[in-house]
């Protein structure tokens, strides 16, 4: 069965804004053994702020700690050329699952979106490819007919929906093959995702509070409270990790300021998680 939770792990930076390898390893080692699948260098991982070599480095670190079977490498990039290079490195590291963001920044029509995914899948038949739909960030809206076409290649193993793509979750769930897995990036759907026809959640919040989310994973009210406090916000998730670990957990990208009140609530959440841990 597909994993219920895949952690979309954030990328830790030190005070000089370099990747903090020790903090990243510490984060990975903290994940519960039976919920340790990770998506590396995704949106939560601030991939637009990473060089290709840094994305490769993060994949290698995750493979070293968790093994290649637990790692999903995000290979979405501003060009298909770059996505191929990232995929080649992931493959050489033993990774077999990759997430591929749709084209972004420049407008793309339905034909281009499908060709982007199909040409990538054809070039990497050894990989399980998960198209990644995030219209709020890419500007690319995918309707039912385009989604059905995206999912046609035999090595397209599923898809991830983030933001308003989740408005079509029920429709898309009805269009996938039995061997494909549909994931949501909406952490608040954790208690109901399998009842809704999904495989699980690619969670930005889980790595910041795994104990709490597992304790309350069937409690819709409590999950919404935790997720409402931590996400979708890289700044809040990194604050929680900074408070929990004592490491800098800086960000390269511009993020909103967190108010004093919210900081206090997150500190209380971290303390609650610490008691459970």
Summarize pLDDT for 210-263 with one digit per residue, the tens. 999 999 999 999 999 999 999 889 999 999 999 999 999 999 999 999 999 999
Q: What is the CATH number of domain 5-208?
A: 3.20.20.70
What percent of the chain is predicted at pLDDT more than 70?
Answer: 100
Respond yes or no: is residue 160 known to be catalytic: yes
Whole-angstrom distance, CA of residue 257 vs CA of residue 254: 9
Model pLDDT for residues 109-168, shown as the tens digit of each residue = 999 999 999 999 999 999 999 999 999 999 999 999 999 999 999 999 999 999 999 999
Cross-strand bridge partners of residue 13? 19, 250
201, 5 contact by CB (below 8 A):
yes
Average pLDDT on 2-28 reads: 97
Catalytic residue check, 132: yes
In sequence order, what DSSP letters do the residues of 124-168 get, joined into one string?
Answer: -TTSEEEEEE-HHHH-----HHHHHHHT-STTB-EEEE-GGGGGG
User: Looking at 104, 160, 183, 238, which residue is catalytic?
Assistant: 160
Closest by CA to 24, choosing from 3, 52, 51, 55, is: 55
Confidence of residue 276 (pLDDT cuts 50, 70, 90): confident
- The Cα–Cα gap between 48 and 28 comes to 21
Catalytic one among 81, 104, 105, 132?
132
pTM value surpassing 0.85: yes
Q: Where are the beta strands (DSSP E) in the chain?
A: 5-8, 38-40, 71-74, 97-101, 128-133, 158-161, 181-184, 200-203
pLDDT band at 201 (very low <50, low <70, confident <90, very high): very high
85 has pLDDT over 90: yes
Domain ranges within the chain, ordered by starting residue: 5-208
CB 34 within 8 A of CB 66: no
**pLDDT tens sequence across 160-196:** 999 999 999 999 999 999 999 999 999 999 999 999 9
Q: Which residues, 6 or more positions from 53, have their beta carbon under 8 angstroms from its beta carbon?
A: none
Cα–Cα distance between 226 and 61 in angstroms, integer?
28
18-29 pLDDT, tens per residue? 999 999 999 999
Confidence of residue 1 (pLDDT cuts 50, 70, 90): confident
Q: Mean pLDDT in the chain?
A: 97
């Amino acid at each position: 069965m597909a994993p219920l939770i895949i952690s979309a792990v954030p990328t830790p930076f030190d005070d000089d804004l370099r990747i903090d390898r020790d903090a990243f390893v510490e984060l990975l080692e903290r994940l519960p053994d039976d919920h340790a699948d990770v998506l590396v260098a995704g949106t939560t991982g601030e991939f637009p702020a990473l060089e290709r070599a840094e994305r490769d480095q993060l994949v290698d670190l995750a493979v070293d700690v968790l093994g290649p079977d637990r790692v999903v490498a995000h290979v979405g990039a501003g060009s298909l050329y770059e996505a191929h290079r990232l995929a080649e490195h992931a493959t050489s590291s033993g990774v077999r699952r990759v997430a591929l963001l749709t084209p972004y920044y420049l407008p793309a029509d339905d034909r281009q979106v499908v060709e982007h995914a199909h040409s990538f899948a054809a070039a990497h038949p050894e990989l399980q490819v998960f198209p990644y739909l995030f219209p709020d960030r890419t500007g690319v809206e995918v309707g039912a007919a385009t989604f059905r076409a995206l999912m046609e290649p035999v090595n397209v193993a599923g898809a991830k929906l983030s933001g308003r793509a989740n408005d079509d979750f029920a429709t898309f769930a009805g269009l996938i093959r039995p061997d494909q897995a549909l994931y949501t990036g909406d952490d608040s759907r954790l208690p109901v995702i399998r009842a809704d026809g999904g495989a699980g959640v690619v969670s930005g919040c889980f790595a910041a509070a795994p104990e709490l989310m597992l304790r309350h994973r069937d409690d819709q009210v409590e999950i919404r409270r935790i997720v409402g406090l931590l996400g979708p916000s890289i700044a809040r998730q990194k604050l929680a990790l900074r408070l929990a670990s004592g490491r800098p957990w800086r960000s390269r990208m511009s993020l909103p300021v967190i108010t004093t009140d919210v900081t206090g609530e997150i500190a209380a959440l971290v303390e609650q998680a610490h008691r459970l841990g």
